[in-house]
Chain A
Amino acid sequence: MKIRILVIASMCLSTSAFAGGYRVALQGQKALGMGHTGVAMTDSSEAVFFNPAAMTFLENDMDVSGGITLIDSVIKYQNQTANVAAETDNPMGTPVSFYISQRENEKLSYGLGIYTPYGNAVEWQKDWAGSHLVNNIELHAIYIQPTISYKLSDDFSVGFGPTIVSGSVDFNRNLSTSLIDANGDRSNVTLKASNVTAIGYNVGFLVKPSNDLSVGISYRSKVVLNARDESADFANIPASLQAAYFDTTFNADLVLPAELTVGVSYNLNSDLVLALDINRTYWSAYENLDVQFNNAAGTSLNPRNYNDANIVRLGAQYAMGEDLTLRAGMYFDNSPIGDGYYTPETARADSVGYTAGASYKVSKQMELDFSFLMLTFDEFNGSYDYYDQSGTLVSFSGDYASSVTTIGFGLNYKY
C-alpha cells in the first residue's frame, strides 16, 4: 500500500501550482483528508494550527507531525470577443507544515507550529493579454507559532500562540497595456521583497461535552506585511523615460486576513469520526494592493475590495483495522471576490473541494499520512474593471476556468 501510493504520487508531479485566492488551506495531511476540518479534532499535533486548545486533549505526551503538499494548478483564460486564450504554467507549489505538541502536565501542553497558510504562485506566459495586470507572482508567508494550551477544566481548554510571520513576494507585470522600448520589448516592473515580518496570534477554545463530541472555536488574527524600501526593477524602459523610470524601491502593504473557525467533531462509533468546520475569512481587510514607487511611477492604485467569505467543510474518518485509517471530505468555498474585481493573479470563482486521505501505521509510534485534494471551480466570466490607463478605468474581462489538485505526504510520530 505504502509503495503503491508513493508511485502514484511521483507520477503526479507533472505540471504546476496553485490557483485561486492566496489563502492556501493545506495545513495538515490528516485534516486535509477530511476536507481540511480540524478545529474540533483532538487526534494529532496538527491541532497547533487548527485549534491550539486541542493540544491538551491529545492522547500522547509527545506528538510530532510534518508534511509537504505538492500543488498542481492551472488557470485558463479566454476572451471570446478578442479571440484570445491563455493558460498558466504555474510552478509546483510545495507548502510544508511542521507541528510539535508536548504535554507538560495534566493541564498544560506547549508546542510549536511552522506552516504556510498564505501563498500564491501564478505564472502566465510573458506579455500575455493580461500582462498589464500580472505576468507572474510568487507569494510566500511562513508562520512560526510557539503555543501553549491549558485545560481550565476536564472538558474545557484554551490555547494561544503568537505567530511570527515572514513573507516574501516576487511580482512582475508590464507597466501598461502598450509601452515598449526601441526593440519592441514590453516595459515591465519586478517587485521583490523578502523577510518582511509581522506578528499575529492564533487562539482557540475547545469543549468536550462528552467523550464522543468536541466543539471548537479558533481565531487567527489578521497580519499585515508592510514591505518598505524593497526592490522595484524597471526593465525595457524607452530611452527618453529612463531618467524618470529608474530602478528604485517600493512600499506596499499585503494583508493576510483573519480567519474564524467554529466546528464540531463526533465519534459516531469507535471506528468512525465525523467533522464539520465553518471558516469565515475576513477578506474585507484586503482593500487594495497599492504600490508606492520612489520614482516617477508614483503610486499604483490597485483596488481589490474583497468580501468576507465562508467555507463549509465536512469530513469523515474511518479506522479500517489496526493500521489503516481512511479519510474523505468535501468543502464549499465561496469566492471573496466581487464583480469587477477578478484579477488574473487570483481569478477565483466559487469552488468545491473533494478530499481523501489515509494514514498507515508503520510502527506503534510512526504513522504515514497521505492526502489528496481535487478543487473544482465553476467556469465563470469575470472582469477587473479598475485598471487605470492614463486616467481612464479600463476593464480586462474573460472566461476563467481553474483547477487545483494536490497530493500530500506526512509523518506523524507520537509517544
Chain B
Amino acid sequence: MILMKNQIIKLAGVAIACAVVSACDAEFDNPISGNTGDSGTADLSKFVTIGDSITAGYADGALYLAGQENSYPAILAQQFAVVGGDANFTQPLVSDNLGGLLAGGNQITDNRLVLDLTDPTSPSPVNLTGTPTTEVIGSGLNGTAFSNMGVPGAKSFHLGAPGYGDPAGILLGLSNPFFTRFASDPATATMIGDAAVQAPSFFVLWIGNNDVLSYATTGGVGTDQLGNTDYTFASYGSNDITDPIAFGIVYSGLVGALTANPAAQGVLVNIPDVSTLPYFTTVPYNAIPLDQATADYLNSNPNTIAYNAGLQAAVGVAPGFTQEEADARTINFVAGQNAPIIEDETLTNIGAPLIRQATANDLIILPVSGYLGTENANAVDVTPPAGLPWGLGTPLTDGDVLIPSEIAAIDTARAAFNTTIQAAADADANLILVDSAAIMQEISTTGIDYGTGAINADYATGGAFSLDGVHPTARGYAVVANRIIDAINTGFNASIPAVNPGDYTTIFVQ
C-alpha cells in the first residue's frame, strides 16, 4: 500500500509540475521553425533571371506592381537570401497596381484584368479602370542593369537584338516598351547584354514561350517559319513560329553569354504545351446549347441546306474531295451542346466556303467566350447558314481557333525547342533543367496539391492561372518557384526552404 500511495503522490507531482511550468507544451519532433536551409554547392551570390512575361511576373493581362513583387524570380531571390544568397536582387518595378503603360503620356497597354461578378451567371473579366502612371520613356530606370531581365513579349531572338528597347520603335511595333523602360541604354542595349554584364554566379533562363505562344494565342494566323534560314529574323512577323534551327542557334548564344564565366551555374526552363493553358481549354469545342426548335430552325436555313447539298454533290467531282470530308463538313445542329461553325483554311476548295463545325481536336481561344453565340454586329458577307450569331450564322475566323494542323505546327516547334534546351542543360554540369512542361501538365490534369491547398488550371476558379488565361497567378508562380527550388536542391545538394503557395494571391474580384 505504501508503494501505491507513493505512486499516487508521484503522479500528482508530475501533473502539478506540468501545469505550472507548461513543460508539457506540444512540440514537433522535427519542427520546421529554425530550419535555416543551406545553399549546398550553388553559388547564389549574384542572381540574375532573364526571360519573357513569365519571368517579369506578368499576370491578368498586365505587368503590375504586386505581380512583379510575387514573380517567380522575386520568390526565388527571397528564398535564396534565407540561405545567404544574393540580398540585392533588383526588379524594374512599375509604378502602380493598374498595370497599364504610358509612352510619352499616352496609354499604350491595357490595365490589368479583374473579375466582375455583378451578374453571377456571367462572370466577366474587365480591365481595371484608372489612369496608369508607369511611363516607359525616360522612366528614370535606365542606366543600370536589373537582376530580373524579364520582358513581356520577348521571343528568343529578341534577347540579343540591339535596340529592342528603342523608344523610336515603340509605336511602329519594332521595339518593346517594357524593355524601353529599363534597358541600360534603350537605343542600343540588348537584354542578354544587360544580363551578362552583371556576371551572374547563378541564373535562370526561361525563354522560348513566345516563339510558339504568340502564334497560338492569335489562333494560328501567323506563319510557321519552319525551315526558314533567315537567321536575322527580319522576315518574321510578330505572330510567327520560330524555326527550331534558328531557335537552337539563338539559344546556344544566350547560354554562352550567361556562362561566359565557366563557373556560372544556372537553371534552364523548357516550354510548356499551350494546350495546358486555360486560354485554349476554357471554351469547349461544343459550347453552344440549343433546344430542338432552334436547332431545327438553323438546319432549315436554305443556305445551310444548299451548302450541305453542295458538299455531297462535289464528292467524286471536285479533285481530292472525299465522302469523308463531305460528311465532316456537313452542318447539323442538334438539341443539346453544339460545336460552332469555324473557318478552316486546310479544307479542300470546292468553291464553297471553307467551313465546318468544330471538333474536339480544335482549340477555341478564350476571348471567343466573349462573343460566341452573340450577334455579329459587323457581319457583312453572310456565309451559309444565314443568320448572324458567331459560330451559328457567322463562322468563327481563323484567328479564333487553333485547328489540328496549327496545333501540330506548335507541337513540332515546341518539342524541338525543348530538345535544344535539354541538350544545353545536359552539356554543362553547372546547368540543370526545370521541366515546366511537366509542371503545367500536372496543373492542367491532376492539379498540384501544395500541402495547404491545391491549384488546377480551371479558368478563374482553379487558382493557378490569372485572368488572361496564359500567365500564372502569384500562387501559380509560387508553385513554380517551389518546383525550381526543388530542382536546385536536388541538383546542387542544397536545402533552400520552400514558400507556402497559400500565402500568395490568385485572381482579383472587382
Binding site for B on A (CB under 8 A): 8, 11-12, 14-15, 72, 74-76, 78-85, 129-130, 132, 177-180, 182, 184, 238-241, 243-244, 269, 271-272, 296, 316, 318, 320, 326-328, 330, 354-358, 372-374, 376-377, 379, 387, 389-392, 394-399, 401-403, 405-407
B1 interfacial by beta-carbon distance below 8 Å: yes
CA distance A84 to B500 in the complex (A): 6
Q: Give the CA-CA distance A238 to B452 in the complex, in Å.
A: 24
Verify B510–A240 contact, CB threshold 8 A: yes
- A177:B502 contact, CB within 8 angstroms: yes
Write the B450-467 contact mask toward A (1 if CB under 8 angstroms, else 0): 111110101001110000
| Complex CA–CA separation, A356 to B20 (angstroms) | 14
Q: At the interface, is chain B mostly helix, strand, loop or mixed? A: loop
The interface of chain B, by Cβ under 8 A from chain A, is: 1, 4-5, 7-9, 11-16, 18-20, 22, 24-33, 35, 115-118, 120, 447, 449-454, 456, 458, 461-463, 475, 497-503, 505-510
Instruction: Report if A74-B26 is in contact (Cβ < 8 Å); known contacts: A82-B502, A372-B12.
Output: yes
Q: Name the A residues within 8 Å of B507 (CB-CB).
A: 178
The answer to whether A85 and B33 touch across the interface, beta carbons within 8 angstroms, is yes
Q: A129-B502, A389-B454, A406-B19 are in contact. List 19 more A-B contacts (CB 8 A).
A: A8-B19, A76-B26, A79-B500, A80-B32, A82-B498, A177-B463, A178-B463, A178-B505, A178-B506, A178-B507, A327-B12, A328-B12, A356-B15, A357-B12, A372-B18, A379-B28, A389-B463, A398-B452, A401-B27
Q: A316-B8, A405-B19 are in contact. Are A129 and B503 (CB under 8 A)?
A: yes
Beta-carbon contact of B16 and A372 below 8 Å: yes
A238 touches B24 (CB 8 A): no
Contact A392 B24 (CB under 8 A): no
Q: In the complex, are the beta carbons of A394 and B454 less than 8 A apart?
A: yes
CB-nearest residue of chain B relative to A5? B16
Report B-chain residues with C-beta under 8 Å of the C-beta of A76.
26-28
CA distance A250 to B253 in the complex (A): 64
A392 touches B5 (CB 8 A): no
CB-defined contacts of B12 to chain A, threshold 8 Å? 326-328, 356-358, 372
Contact, CB under 8 Å: A83 / B22:
no
Nearest 4 interchain pairs by C-beta: A356-B12, A390-B461, A401-B26, A84-B500
Q: List 23 A-B contacts (CB under 8 A).
A: A12-B19, A12-B22, A81-B451, A84-B32, A84-B500, A85-B33, A178-B506, A238-B509, A240-B115, A354-B11, A354-B14, A356-B12, A358-B12, A372-B19, A374-B14, A394-B449, A394-B453, A395-B449, A395-B453, A395-B454, A398-B451, A403-B24, A407-B19
Complex contact A179–B22 (CB within 8 A): no
Shortest distance between the CB of A374 and any CB in chain B (Å): 5
- Min CB distance A107 to B, Å, is 36
B500 and A129 within 8 A (CB): yes
B31-A78 in contact (CB<8A):
yes
B309 to chain A, nearest CB (A): 44
- Expressed in whole angstroms, the Cα–Cα distance for A80 and B453 within the complex equals 13
Contacts A12-B20, A379-B28; A81 near B8 (Cβ below 8 A): no
Residues of A within 8 A of B27 (CB): 76, 401
- Chain A residue contacts of B451, Cβ below 8 A: 79-82, 84, 397-398
Cβ contact of B454, chosen from A271, A354, A392, A402, cutoff 8 A: A392
Query: When the two chains form their complex, are residues A240 and B28 in contact, meaning their CB atoms are under 8 A apart?
Result: no
A11 touches B20 (CB 8 A): yes
List of B residues within 8 angstroms of A178 by Cβ: 463, 475, 505-507
B20 neighbours in A (Cβ, 8 Å): 8, 11-12
Q: Is the CB of B22 within 8 A of A177?
A: no
- Alpha-carbon distance between A272 and B3 when the two chains are bound, in angstroms: 12
Residues of chain A contacted by B454 (CB below 8 angstroms):
389, 392, 394-395
The answer for the CA separation of A79 and B449 in the assembled complex, in Å, is 12
Tell me the nearest residue of chain B to A178, going by C-beta. Answer: B506
Cβ-closest chain A residue relative to B507:
A178
Provide the residues of chain A in CB contact with B498, threshold 8 Å. Answer: 81-83
* Nearest-CB residue, chain A, relative to B32: A78
Q: How far is B30's CA from A369's CA once the two chains are assembled, in angstroms?
A: 39
- Nearest opposing residue in chain B for A15, CB measure: B22
With A and B bound together, what is the CA distance between A389 and B9 in angstroms? 53
Chain A residues, CB < 8 A from B19:
8, 12, 72, 372, 374, 405-407
B274 to chain A minimum Cβ distance, whole angstroms, is 23
Task: Kindly name the residue among B12, B449, B461, B503 whose own CB sees the greatest number of chain A CB atoms within 10 A.
Answer: B12
Q: Which residues of A contact B462 (CB under 8 A)?
A: 390, 392
User: In the bound complex, how far is the Cα of B447 from the Cα of A406, in angstroms?
Assistant: 43
Pairwise interchain contact A238-B35, C-beta atoms closer than 8 A: no
A271, B1: Cβ atoms closer than 8 Å: yes
Chain A min CB distance to B475 (Å) = 7
| B18, closest chain A residue (CB) | A374
Q: How far is the CB of A184 from chain B (nearest CB, A)?
A: 8
CA distance A389 to B506 in the complex (A): 13
Residue of B whose beta carbon sits closest to that of A177: B453
A129 touches B14 (CB 8 A): no
CA distance A76 to B32 in the complex (A): 12
B120 and A244 within 8 A (CB) = yes
CB distance from A188 to the nearest CB of B (A): 14
Q: Does the CB pair A83–B35 fall under 8 Å?
A: yes
Across the interface, which residues of A come within 8 angstroms of B24, CB to CB? 374, 376, 403, 405
Report the separation of the CA atoms of residues A385 and B487 in the bound assembly, to the nearest whole angstrom: 28
- CB pair A82 B499 closer than 8 Å: yes
Return B121 CB to nearest CB of chain A, in Å. Answer: 11
Residues in chain B near residue A240, CB distance under 8 A: 115-118, 509-510
A269 CA / B2 CA spacing, docked (Å) = 13
A327 touching B450 in the complex, CB below 8 Å, given contacts A82-B501, A129-B502, A372-B16: no
Task: Give the shortest distance, in Å, between B463 (CB) and chain A (any CB).
Answer: 6
Cα–Cα distance between A356 and B15 once the two chains are bound (Å): 6
Q: Are A392's CB and B458's CB within 8 A?
A: yes
Contact partners of B497 in chain A: CB under 8 A: 83
Q: How far is the CA of A357 from the CA of B117 in the complex (A)?
A: 60
> Which chain A residues border B1 with CB–CB below 8 Å?
269, 271-272
Question: Which residues from chain A contact B463 at a C-beta distance below 8 Å?
Answer: 177-178, 389
B9, B118, B500, B508: the one contacting A82 at CB < 8 Å is B500
Q: Which residue of B lies closest to A12 (CB)?
A: B19
Residues on the A chain within 8 Å of B447, using CB:
392
What CA separation (Å) do A84 and B16 show in the bound complex?
A: 33
Q: Shortest beta-carbon distance, A52 to chain B, in Å? A: 28
Chain B residues whose CB sits within 8 angstroms of the CB of A320 once the complex forms = 5
| Residues in chain B near residue A403, CB distance under 8 A | 24-26
Contact A392/B456 with A244-B117, A326-B8 known, Cβ cut-off 8 Å: yes
Task: Output the nearest chain B residue to A385 by Cβ-Cβ distance.
Answer: B449
Is the CB–CB distance between A328 and B35 below 8 Å?
no
User: Looking across the interface, which residue of chain A has its beta carbon closest to that of B473?
Assistant: A178
Whether the pair B32, A83 counts as a contact (CB closer than 8 A) is: yes
Q: How far is the CB of B21 from chain A (nearest CB, A)?
A: 9
B116 to chain A, nearest CB (A): 5
Neighbouring B residues of A392 by C-beta, 8 Å: 447, 454, 456, 458, 462
Complex Cα distance, B509 from A8, in Å, reads: 53
> Are the CB atoms of A241 and B453 closer together than 8 Å?
no
Expressed in whole angstroms, the Cα–Cα distance for A129 and B478 within the complex equals 15
Contact residues in A for B500 (Cβ distance below 8 Å) = 79, 82-84, 129
Residue of A nearest to B79 (CB): A83
The answer to whether B15 and A85 touch across the interface, beta carbons within 8 angstroms, is no
Cα–Cα, bound, A223→B329 (Å): 66
Q: In the complex, are the beta carbons of A82 and B31 less than 8 A apart?
A: no
Are A296 and B26 in contact, CB atoms less than 8 angstroms apart? Answer: no
With beta carbons under 8 angstroms apart, the residue of A72, A84, A399 that contacts B28 is: A399
Q: How far is the CB of B66 from chain A (nearest CB, A)?
A: 9
